Structure 1
Amino acid sequence: MSISESFSRAPLLLKIAIGIACVGWFLHLLGFATPYWSTAKYFSIFGIDIHFGLWYYCAGKECDGYGKVQSWLEAAQAFAILGFLAGLAAIVLAILYVFVEQLRKDIFYIVAAVGNLAAAGCIFLAVVIFGSKITNGLSWSFGLSIVGMIFHGVAGVLMGVNRFQNKPQ
């Protein structure tokens, strides 16, 4: 069976779920990698903008890594990484399920759906841990990870709904 035939035979909800998961993963990737989880205006006389991410902080145009970090930031970093990896694994498994007929087994489908939900859960923990400890304003990178979390959750739910509507082969 050709790739186009495999894709056209896949249920619509599964195709939508894969698309939503890909968008969610990309949004989390952008939020995960950029230093705008929190911003603060310090030294307003000098107009220095300070912003923080999971991995480094920037003051004006100068950026630097954290070095030794507190355990809460390590936990947020760990959960963000786990969410990133779970989302990637879920997408890869769902795509393999659709395009490789020999891998069209229930286990691949179920693990892909659970992987999306696990990604959402891990990203949720990362944003809750970070957000509970930060005293400055939260910024757009933080928001992108939250939107990515929501997309992964929706993708997992759609895959679950599809599973019960049309039992996979």
Structure 2
Amino acid sequence: MVDNCKIFASSSKVLKATAVLLGVVFIVHCVGIGTDFWVHSDHFGARVHSGLWRYCSCFTFFGETCYCVSFHSPAPGWLKGVQALEVIGLIAIIFVGLMIFMQLFFTQCTTIKIWGILLMFFSAVCILAGVTLYGAMMLHDLNFSFGLCVISSILCFVCAFLLIQDRRISLRNAQVPGQARYASQGQVIQSPPAQVVIAYSNQTQQPVYPPSYAHAQYGPPPSYPVAMQHGQFVQQQDQFQHTQQKNAE
């Protein structure tokens, strides 16, 4: 449970906003394909409206009475095509929602992100193709159910671009200096500049190097004693020459 909370906290705000927007898209699309007001018209005192699944006629006679007939075998082929496209788009929305849920609470897998983007575009295209076909066949009297499905297709495209932005954010975070990734033990794939990172047993250990004055603790470097001996020899030679000059005087 703690790990799930950490994954959710580390998820980008774009992904969280996409999850909320996708929930709105799901509700809007369900209302659009489930209601009977894709077209609406009045003929000789009778109000006629229909959706993807049934056709209704309403009469006003001591109150309004509606009689609805479901589309089964009498449904034309183009209407069946619209039904199929809209339902496929809805199923794709559900799958994208499941993928976003996995990214928020279980894993930030790159493959899941890519599939989510592709399915989101696929859903948007299916819904848009369905409403385009329906609008081409029913040129007049289009109503709010048709408009809701048009809105859901547009919002699907928006969600797809938000998922692309989330993918870019995850790639940027993976390339931030100071975060090293390893393919196997002892093999450094990426490390920050001016820093050596070595992996042992799948753990990152950063060695601590002694400061510049470390010779005070560990002893002088190899060249340091030689320089001291050379200085002592030069000093003794100068003292010997100075003593000879005094004796000569």
Given the two structures, how large is their TM-score scaled by the length of structure 2?
A: 0.62
Q: Is the 8 A contact 2:124 2:157 kept in 1?
A: yes
Question: Where do residues 1-169 of structure 1 align in structure 2 (5 Å cutoff)?
Answer: 1-43=2-44, 46=45, 48-60=46-58, 61-67=66-72, 68-101=74-107, 104-167=108-171
Shift of 1:52: 1.0
Letter in 1 for 2:111: I
The alpha carbon displacement at 1:114 in A equals 1.5
Task: Report deviation, 1:42.
Answer: 1.2
Number of residue pairs the alignment of both structures matches: 164
Taking only aligned residues, the RMSD between alpha carbons, in angstroms, comes to: 1.6
What is the CA–CA distance in structure 2 between the aligned matches of 1:79 and 1:59, rounded to whole Å? Answer: 26
How far is the alpha carbon of 1:2 from its aligned partner?
A: 5.0
SS in 2 for 1:51: strand
> 1:9 and 1:59, CA in 2 relative to 1: closer, same or farther beyond 3 A?
same
Aligned equivalents of 1:146, 1:25: Cα separation in 2: 13
Shift, 1:99, TM fit = 0.8
- Normalising by structure 1, we get a TM-score of 0.90
Higher helix share: 1
> Alpha-carbon deviations, 1:111-155, whole Å to 9, x = none?
112211111110001100100001431101111111111111101
Q: Which stretch of the first structure deviates more once superposed, 28-37 or 1-10?
A: 1-10
Are the equivalent residues in 2 in contact too, given 1:80–1:123 (CA < 8 A)?
yes
